[in-house]
Structure 1
Amino acid sequence: MKRNTEQIIKTSSVIASVVSQSSGSSYFVFQQPEYPRDCKEVLNACSSPHNTSGVYLIKPDGYPEPFEAYCDNDLENGGWTVLQRRLMESINFNRTWKDFRSGFGFPRSEVWLGNEKVAFLTNQKQYQLRLEFQNAAGQSYYVTYDNFRISDEWGQYSLSSLGLYRGTPNSNIEWCPTNEIFTNETCERTCEDPETCVSSTSLTKPERCACVGEYMIHEENCIPQNQCGCFVADKGGVLRNGESFINSDCTRRSNCSNNQLTLEENYQCSNDATCDERNGIRRCYCNDGYEGDGVECTREMIPKDCKDLLTDDTRDGVYTVYPDNWPNGIQVYCEMESNGGGWTVS
């Protein structure tokens, strides 16, 4: 099992000088930026303390504010910017898209620098990516790619370049497909049955590529749940096949059938019903004294005398009946068990 990992980059270009000419002479102009753009520029700074590994402020071209990054100056010739470090699993890496965009953790320990920062960083120069691993047995190995770059937020931070691969023997790297992450998560969900957890505990590998968070499986692909066929924006989730969802004011019902969503825009409660949520289900419910599905409600039978109340199980006793002109009803004694039953005792 791969336990310790570190992902770092190092620029393969140098800081450019601007050459200008005046009156037949030439000279070099170098404008030192307020903050170094990466750890290579931190290493090339004049002050000697920058030659040691540690946390420094960097500011890639175009990024609005400087941020802290760990600079590894002990590896090879130094100047490596640490993008990710996972050591003892003190930080949870099973996080949301928003977390991975902004970054999390601590530069000196476990950290993910953040998709947005990495995008600005890798698009300003040509960088080499180095991935270092240590397995449970303590064996270390690494791989490098000589032209690493990811796209911006519009491109969903997808991998846009890697370049030539090099590495130590037996250091094969398995890249997860788009929208999947490498995780020990044991629960995935599908567009067809979003409420059921698809367990992967039977797999032999403790970590694997999986669709988690806001992604679901659809025909072996991993897609955002809002692209599932029965995604309902009002609900903020996906319906199961055969399931319905009614919006907050009971004016629209969404139905899922064969992973296809249909909308009833004319859904409306009866005048004798109320839009309500009961036992976790929101729909139209008929008012007291009425029965039906809420869209159509009919008045329940109003007993005018004991005969109207007679059933095979009715016993003698006091009941409420509603004779004509008595809307609030009156209580009477009903003889139900002799002479055929249904007798109102006056």
Structure 2
Amino acid sequence: SDYSTLPLSKLSPGSSYEVSVISLLGLDESDPIDGVVLTLPDPPTDLRAINVTDTKALLLWRPALATVDQYVIVYGSEEVYLISGTLRFPFPSDCSQELMNGVRESGVVEIFPRGKEGKPVRVYCDMETDGGGWTVFQRRKDGKTNFFRGWQEYSKGFGELEGEFWLGNELLHNLTMMTPMSMRVDLRSGSESVYAAYSTFSVDTMKRHYTLRVSGYSGTAGDSMTYHDRRKFSTRDRDPQPFITRCAMSYKGGWWYKNCHEANLNGLYNTHTDHQGVIWTAWKGKDFSIPFAEMKLRPSSFNPRTQG
């Protein structure tokens, strides 16, 4: 061959290298010949789509090691040019981080409460109420979901995220242990709507019966939740409270019962007798079952005025 070759290894992608070659004969050496080697940029990896709906999806990928000017995404026959493919929170831990990633519509998304190494979890985000960024963990709206369930089901969660559901006590514990959380309850009956906000909200471990901590009320619904502060969670098959009345059995829900309740948002839907309904005593008393209830959480440090 008219050419000599030598492979170069351990080069970095998308980098420039100056190369010199000289000839040696005994102790004599030639003048160098100089050149420049430009390595190609490496491709991005781990491409996947999250938050997929019927009309849109959010793409997520690990960026190239090389410094690049832009990424080109081709789907169908269209090309979209991005100056940067970096999300502020590539693995959002809750809906407030999804909001800061640019998601503005309420709906079901994937979050990563345990970080990028943990499994993603599907949740419903409220991006409209009081600045958005709320992770919804309970909803009552039509009575299609049975809330008179056992301990394991309340631990894991049940129902449909677009309809009625309980997100799960284990996930509630994980979410409220990551960072200090606030909590909001939205209630509606016909044309009436009220809310109760709490500046602190947390749920303890399963070993401690998912004990509730809640305080710092403000709002228009009246305070029916502080009564349940420091109470253990009870279900029909597991009631750790020392009271004579088995509250979960008597009032047909899973809840942080005391003796027994001022709020019973997981009670029987559309039941207006025996204090067994969906109840918020400070608003409608104990003989009225509220048609719509939604509970949601958001980091206490979140400032709605800085978003958008």
TM-score range, shorter chain: 0.3 to 0.5
What TM-score does the superposition give when structure 2 sets the normalisation length?
0.46
Q: Which has the higher contact order (CA 8 A, sep 6+)?
A: 2
Please identify the structure whose Cα radius of gyration is greater: 1
What TM-score does the superposition give when structure 1 sets the normalisation length?
0.41
Greater helix proportion = 2
Greater strand proportion = 1
